[in-house]
Amino acid sequence: DTGVSQNPRHKITKRGQNVTFRCDPISEHNRLYWYRQTLGQGPEFLTYFQNEAQLEKSRLLSDRFSAERPKGSFSTLEIQRTEQGDSAMYLCASSRDRGYTEAFFGQGTRLTVV
Amino acid sequence: QKEVEQDPGPLSVPEGAIVSLNCTYSNSAFQYFMWYRQYSRKGPELLMYTYSSGNKEDGRFTAQVDKSSKYISLFIRDSQPSDSATYLCAMSGLEGNEKLTFGTGTRLTIIP
């Protein structure tokens, strides 16, 4: 069990560019979550998947954001036409199916939009 | 108003002191209550979780939940410099592994 893996760890991009982040959950975990954390704030929920199905999306997830989890394995989060306000830490977490509460977080991808 | 309120601190205490961290919440649907520890530039790691009201102890850490007051606490006994981190409270609904709603985090420093 190598834990939740996120790549890249850091990303600097120019405003208006598209970026994509990847999350590899713990292998037997069915649920996968994306959160966003800005400086001095707690993580805010963005979206989550049960296997390959995207079950809920936050209002924070504008139409510039899209997430996928093909075949219920790894997940990608894409941000199109990045804005400076998108600068944040993007965290991925995974957990087992129903009845199990522990969500394990990855180290996050820190995005800086210049 | 946020669903979960947490004093951001910073909080500084001498080594060996008892630390008390607290959160209040407004959504009565919350049933699972967690405390995460986050070191700088790292992802949060789960310290403890509690279902509904009551106390839970794990080593130097004790979590308390009072649903009638919508108030949760984390106590750290015999605090160590390695406990210096940001502590986040988090809550979720009936199934326990739905989305988590976090507080802002309290930044704690233990002074040797």
Averaged pLDDT of chain B: 92
Amino acid letter at A17?
Q
Contact B102 A102 (CB under 8 A): no
**B62-93 residues labelled b (16+ CB within 10 A) or e (exposed):** bbbbeeeebebbbbbeebeeebbbbbbbbbbe
Q: What is the CA radius of gyration of chain A?
A: 13
What pLDDT shows up at residue A111? 98
The yes-or-no verdict on residue B26 having pLDDT over 60 is yes
User: Is the link from the previous residue into B44 a cis peptide, with omega within 30 of 0?
Assistant: no
For tokens 């409270």, name the residue: B89
Spacing of C-alpha B99 from chain mean position: 17
Picking from B6, B97, B99, the nearest residue to A45 by CB comes out as B99
Instruction: Tell me how far apart the 2 most distant CA atoms of chain B are, in Å.
Output: 41
Percent of chain B with pLDDT over 90: 78
Confidence of residue A14 (pLDDT cuts 50, 70, 90): very high
pLDDT in tens, A25-46: 999 899 999 999 999 899 999 9
Average pLDDT over residues A54-62: 87
Q: How far apart are the first and last CA of chain A?
A: 36
Picking from B4, B36, B97, the nearest residue to A101 by CB comes out as B97
Tell me the two tokens of residue A107.
């180290």
Contact A45 B90 (CB under 8 A): no
Please give the DSSP secondary-structure letter assigned to residue A102: P
Coil vs helix vs strand at B8: coil
User: Is the link from the previous residue into B10 a cis peptide, with omega within 30 of 0?
Assistant: yes
Amino acid letter at B57?
E
| Cβ atoms A98, B94 nearer than 8 A | no
Q: Which residues of B touch A (CB under 8 A)?
A: 4, 6, 8, 32, 34, 36, 41-46, 49, 51, 88, 90, 92, 95-105
Tell me the two tokens of residue A32.
């996968």
